[in-house]
């Protein structure tokens, strides 16, 4: 169990990278248009944020359209990502569940309240990830599109 807990911690730390970057609408539109029916919105989404997402990503939007993953400080590497999760403003289901799940919620709250703690933990996690072996054609699967295996 301890290794699962450690892995969960590293994943929470690395998820903070979503404080910068963007996503194409088709990667999250199921949360604003098709959540368990054709008219429902994911109830974990903040209502105002869901409306903003719908205006930026209407149905049948051009697949090249992308929006910021962090709606509050999209160009800053900060702990706003975790503050956004507390407000129901996680773009992806996998983001928002970090605040909803009792196992990861304490870490989200700690990082939301203390930027230095987030930065220190992120540095440790990304350094550890950087030590993972690099894949090449002989020992791995190199993807040209990360969404397709």
Residue 1 has pLDDT above 70, yes or no: no
Please check whether residue 68 lies inside any domain of the structure.
yes
Least confident of 5-14, 36-45, 49-58, 136-145: 136-145
Beta bridge partners of 68: 22
**Sequence ranges of the binding site for heme b:** 18
Please check whether residue 104 lies inside any domain of the structure.
yes
* 121-134 average pLDDT score: 86
pLDDT of residue 87: 98
Please check whether residue 89 lies inside any domain of the structure.
yes
Least confident of 28-37, 81-90, 107-116, 121-130: 28-37
Please check whether residue 149 lies inside any domain of the structure.
no
Please check whether residue 80 lies inside any domain of the structure.
yes
- pLDDT tens-digit readout, 46-74: 999 999 999 999 999 999 999 999 999 99
Residue 91 has pLDDT above 80, yes or no: yes
CA distance 50 to 32: 6
pLDDT of residue 70: 96
**Sequence ranges of the binding site:** 18-19, 70, 73, 78
**Sequence ranges of the binding site for Ca(2+):** 19, 70, 73, 78
* H or E segment to which residue 8 belongs: helix 2-15
pLDDT of residue 149: 67
Tally the domains of the chain.
1
Report DSSP state, residue 134. Answer: P
The strand ranges marked E within 4-147 are 22-24, 66-68
pLDDT of residue 53: 97
Please check whether residue 42 lies inside any domain of the structure.
yes
> What range does the domain containing 68 cover?
2-130
77 Cβ neighbours under 8 A, 6+ residues apart = 19, 20
Please check whether residue 139 lies inside any domain of the structure.
no
CATH number, domain with residue 36:
1.10.420.10
Please check whether residue 135 lies inside any domain of the structure.
no
Least confident of 5-9, 22-26, 115-119: 5-9
pLDDT of residue 46: 95
pLDDT of residue 38: 56
Per-chain mean pLDDT for the chain: 88
């Amino acid at each position: 169990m301890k290794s699962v807990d450690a892995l969960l911690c590293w994943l929470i730390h690395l998820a903070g990278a979503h404080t910068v970057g963007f996503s194409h609408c088709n990667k999250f539109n199921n949360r604003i248009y098709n959540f368990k029916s054709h008219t429902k919105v994911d109830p974990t989404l903040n209502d105002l944020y869901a409306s903003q997402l719908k205006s930026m990503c209407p149905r049948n939007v051009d697949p090249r359209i992308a929006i910021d993953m962090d709606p509050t400080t999209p160009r800053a590497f900060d702990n706003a990502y975790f503050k956004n999760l507390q407000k129901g403003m996680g773009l992806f289901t996998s983001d928002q569940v970090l605040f909803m799940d009792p196992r990861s919620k304490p870490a989200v709250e700690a990082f939301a309240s203390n930027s230095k703690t987030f930065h220190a933990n992120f540095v440790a996690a990304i350094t550890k990830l950087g030590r993972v072996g690099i894949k090449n054609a002989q020992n791995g699967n190199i993807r040209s599109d990360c969404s397709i295996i």
